[in-house]
Amino acid sequence: MRKIVALAIFGLFLISASLAGYRDVQTKTSNAIEKTFYFSEPEISEDGNYMIVSANGMNSFMMEGYPVLPYKTEILTFPIGTKINVEFSAGKINKIKIENKVKPYPFFTKVFTTGKILIEEGEIYSEERFPESFVDYSLLAGIYNGQRCIILSVFLQPYIYDFKENSITYTDRINLKIYHEENPLHAETSTYDFLIISPDAWLSELETLKQHKESKGIKTIAVGLNEIYSGKYFPCNGRDDAEKVKYFIKNAIEEWGIKYVMLVGGRQGGIFNERWLMPVRYTNLDDRSGWETGYLSDLYFADIYKYENGSIVFEDWDSNGNGIFAEWKGMKKDKLDLVPDVYIGRLACRSKIELKVVIDKIIKYESENQASKDWFKKMVVVAGDTFPAEGDPYFDGEVSTEKALEYMAGYEGIKLYTSTGTLQDANDIINAVSGGCGFLNFEGHGNPMSWATHPPHDESTWIGIDVTQFPMFSNKDMYPVCVIGGCHNSQFNVSVFNLLKIKQLYETYYKSEWSPGCFGEWIVRKIDGGAIASIGCTGLGYGYVGDGNKDGIPDCIQGLGGWIDIEFFRLYGQENKRILGEIHSTAIANYVANFPVMKDEIDCKTVQEWVLLGDPTLKIGGYS
């Protein structure tokens, strides 16, 4: 049913999807768009002591303790700088008195070794109604389909639950009128496409990569951190080093026209105060798990602009101005844009030697037409019964990877599943990857050092792989793009120096934060094997269990980590996007536009923690 610590799975919302259950009519004038959406009477049925409200072809709010109600999203894009005003009205309004309360979306909890699905009413049930209005919308700034734009995300909510009256108020139609006035933010320039930021001492190591990218038509500039801090190119602004880097990226967009940014450098030791070769930003979002109250987020460096009072302004991730970035704790919450304005990735290397390994892999990979080779047309998926919860008939991880494979037409699925016996130990993974594959997808549990899952209905047995076994990968020159569903697999702040925190030694060991590098880092920097890039979670990963909205579709592919992972493969397989950073950032943008990221902290965390450890300009499959 709901957010479960340790997984990440898949989904099926299309940003411009045509859904059943409603219809819309659109007209345009010179500066206005009018759209009318028609809705049917909701379907109401009993489910135990509660009522289920559904509407054919619509999505459902799936927030723990909130009533499950249908909604639909409508997304439109406008040129960056456009001033937008939205008006809406409802058609005929009706009210249905219902016998019992609307069923809340379930909680998922773990008691000892058995998962439990709990039905509990959240605090929202003491309010007057949910949602508050038939329409909610957000105006977001971001890069989409290669263009910087304003994204208008409209949530159409035709069914409102009145808690006190125990009734459903609904409308048969919603009318939108969108006024728009173009006002370009700045003149588009194209001095450079790709900005690489690194320690100054590593600039010479990056020269070969710069030359390679320019040979492929990507105008590239490499800039050292001290050049940023000294104001060599632009005046230096910012409260700390991370914000100085972010302001530099803003200037590089406006003065050079860059679309891609790669941060080079990982952690460089430190005990009580971490030392970094490249600045990082930690969020301050408390997910109430008791595990962490913040986590690394490179999305901070990509989310440069926000729409505010009709203008595009700098997005500092500190909307309340209290100096606490990306804050979400109780009532204290920063309102964030969250849509990337550049395609971003990081090479979290800790030495020049590691950097050279990764650069050599990138250049060799892109220098040949990998997509034409037989090995590239394989996709290895590794999964099992992620959460063997009571009452859950689905093998979550396997359901998710099956959905991912549906989008990858023309690829042979190499399925390593606990349910079929094709996944019995790490050797099965090593052998499959060593045979070469274009894509590798893990869906299950994780920590910084390992990934694992369960056999069906057996939570006590773990099957997986850890970083100490990576040297056994022998897939030289046959490197996949790796998407990892699981907790903390891309937590790139781990270090052996953490073992020197004597008072926290047990916690450090238990959380596997003492590794020389995390799972997502290590698989990329593996010499003559591993992956060409990885995407995963820097913190706790989340997913749904069961079918809490009772629509007959496993919830694990309808939101959270599951949805965003599968969206990566949909964008590649169905929309034919081939540049790694664009796929990664577009998946984030689509999530932000389709889910209530500023109402639910776990939806917010899902996009903040999903990091690309790799080259954002990488052409998947190489150049022909």
Residue 110, φ and ψ in degrees, nearest 5: -115, 120
Strand (E) or helix (H) holding 380: strand 378-383
Q: What distance in Å separates the CA atoms of residue 34 and residue 76, rounded to the nearest whole number?
A: 12
Looking up residue 605, the CATH number of its domain turns out to be: 3.40.50.1460
Indicate whether 268 belongs to any domain: yes
User: Does pLDDT of 11 surpass 60?
Assistant: no
Q: What distance in Å separates the CA atoms of residue 116 and residue 459, rounded to the nearest whole number?
A: 12
Q: Who wins on pLDDT, 500 or 619?
A: 619
Indicate whether 55 belongs to any domain: yes
Q: What distance in Å separates the CA atoms of residue 424 and residue 414, rounded to the nearest whole number?
A: 14
Name the residue with tokens 């995390």: 518
CA distances 272 to 190, 266, 378, 395, 500, Å, are 43, 17, 44, 41, 9
* One domain, residues 572 and 426: yes
**Average pLDDT in the 295-301 region?**
99
pLDDT value of residue 186: 61
Percent over 70 (pLDDT), the chain: 93
Strand (E) or helix (H) holding 136: strand 135-144
* One domain, residues 176 and 211: no
Indicate whether 109 belongs to any domain: yes
User: Does pLDDT of 294 surpass 70?
Assistant: yes
Burial zone of 420 (CB within 10 Å; 0-12 exposed, 13-18 middle, 19+ buried): exposed
* One domain, residues 98 and 222: no
pLDDT value of residue 549: 86
Indicate whether 618 belongs to any domain: no
User: Does pLDDT of 118 surpass 90?
Assistant: no
- Of 332, 350, 380, which one is at a domain's C-terminal end? 332
On the question of a cis peptide bond just before residue 516, with omega within 30 degrees of 0, the verdict is no
* One domain, residues 139 and 226: no
- Of 309, 332, 355, which one is at a domain's C-terminal end? 332
User: Letter for the amino acid at 42?
Assistant: P
* One domain, residues 178 and 199: no
Confidence of residue 421 (pLDDT cuts 50, 70, 90): very high
Q: Who wins on pLDDT, 509 or 25?
A: 509
* Alpha-carbon torsion angle 418, 573, 438, 606, nearest 10: -60
Confidence of residue 390 (pLDDT cuts 50, 70, 90): confident
User: Does pLDDT of 28 surpass 80?
Assistant: no
DSSP string of 552-602? SS-GGGSSHHHHHHHHHHHHHHTT---BHHHHHHHHHHHHHHHS-TTT-HH
CA distances 590 to 64, 77, 339, 382, 403, Å, are 22, 12, 9, 25, 18
pLDDT value of residue 20: 28
Q: What DSSP character marks residue 372?
A: G
Which of 242, 220, 216, 246 lies closest to 234, judged by CA? 246
The angle that helices 207-215 and 352-366 make with each other, rounded to 10 degrees, is 20
pLDDT value of residue 190: 86
pLDDT value of residue 456: 95
User: Does pLDDT of 5 surpass 70?
Assistant: no
Indicate whether 7 belongs to any domain: no
pLDDT value of residue 129: 95
pLDDT value of residue 110: 45
**188-226 pLDDT per residue, tens:** 678 999 999 999 999 999 999 999 999 999 999 999 999
Looking up residue 224, the CATH number of its domain turns out to be: 3.40.50
Average pLDDT score over the chain = 92
Indicate whether 187 belongs to any domain: no
Indicate whether 499 belongs to any domain: yes
* One domain, residues 213 and 285: yes
The angle that helices 601-608 and 580-594 make with each other, rounded to 10 degrees, is 170
pLDDT value of residue 29: 55
- Of 118, 152, 182, which one is at a domain's C-terminal end? 182
User: Does pLDDT of 71 surpass 90?
Assistant: yes
Name the residue with tokens 């450079």: 192
User: Domain tally for the chain?
Assistant: 3
**468-505 pLDDT per residue, tens:** 999 999 999 999 999 999 999 999 999 999 888 888 88
User: Does pLDDT of 450 surpass 70?
Assistant: yes
Sign of the CA dihedral running 238, 243, 249, 250:
negative
Indicate whether 516 belongs to any domain: yes
Q: What distance in Å separates the CA atoms of residue 535 and residue 483, rounded to the nearest whole number?
A: 5
Query: For residue 430, what are its two tokens?
Result: 């090593």
* One domain, residues 83 and 225: no
Which of 49, 13, 620, 614 lies closest to 298, judged by CA? 614
* One domain, residues 173 and 203: no
User: Does pLDDT of 138 surpass 60?
Assistant: yes
Q: Classify strands 481-485 and 533-537 as parallel, antiparallel or unpaired.
A: parallel
* One domain, residues 177 and 290: no
Rounded to two decimals, the pTM is 0.93
* One domain, residues 435 and 510: yes
pLDDT value of residue 90: 95
**Average pLDDT in the 403-428 region?**
98
Which of 526, 524, 561 lies closest to 542, judged by CA? 561
Q: Who wins on pLDDT, 269 or 402?
A: 402
* One domain, residues 176 and 199: no
Could you tell me the end-to-end alpha-carbon distance of the chain, in angstroms, rounded to an integer? 45
DSSP string of 494-546? --GGGGG-GGGHHHHHHTT--SSS-HHHHHHH-TTSS-SEEEEESS------S
* One domain, residues 410 and 511: yes
Percent over 90 (pLDDT), the chain: 83
Query: For residue 475, what are its two tokens?
Result: 């897939």
- Residues 394-408 as b/e (b if ≥16 CB within 10 A, e otherwise) read bbbbbbbbbbbbbbb
**Average pLDDT in the 70-82 region?**
94
Looking up residue 53, the CATH number of its domain turns out to be: 2.60.40.3800
Range(s) of the domain holding residue 256: 194-332
